C-alpha cells in the first residue's frame, strides 16, 4: 500500500498505525518488509493525558486533540506539551 501511494521509497521506512489502545509500526527497507512491532499505546493514551493534565473530561480532551479553544485545527501550547510527553513515551517503547 505504501508503494502504491508513494512509489518505492529508498532506505528505512516506518509506517505507523495509531489505533485507539494499541499501535503497530511496520518497518520497510527499500520497499521490503522487515518486521512489525506492536506497542500498547494509542490515541486513548493521548486523550487521557490531556484530560488529566488540563483537568477536563475525557470527551473534552478528545475534542481538544482535534481543535483548540479557538476552533482551529492546531494544538494549543499546553496541549502540545502534553502530547510531546506522550510522544516521548511512545518512542521509548520502540527502543
Please state the pTM of the whole predicted model.
Answer: 0.75
Q: Which string of DSSP letters, residue by residue, matches the chain?
A: -HHHHH-PPPSEEEEEEE-SS-EEEEEEETTEEEEEEEES--HHHHHHHHHHHHT--HHHHHHHHH--TTS-SS--HHHHHHHHHHHHHHHHHH-
| Least confident among 32-41, 46-55, 75-84 | 75-84
pLDDT tens profile 62-77: 888 876 556 665 678 8
Amino acid at each position: 500500500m505504501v508503494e502504491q501511494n508513494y512509489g518505492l521509497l529508498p532506505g528505512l521506512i516506518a509506517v505507523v498505525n495509531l489505533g485507539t489502545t494499541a499501535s503497530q509500526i511496520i518497518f520497510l527497507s527499500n520497499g521490503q518488509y522487515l518486521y512489525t512491532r506492536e506497542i500498547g499505546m494509542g490515541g486513548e493514551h493521548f486523550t487521557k493525558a490531556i484530560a488529566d493534565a488540563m483537568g477536563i473530561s475525557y470527551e473534552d480532551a478528545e475534542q481538544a486533540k482535534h481543535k483548540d479553544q479557538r476552533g482551529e485545527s492546531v494544538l494549543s501550547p499546553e496541549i502540545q506539551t502534553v502530547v510531546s510527553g506522550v510522544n516521548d513515551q511512545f518512542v521509548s517503547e520502540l527502543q
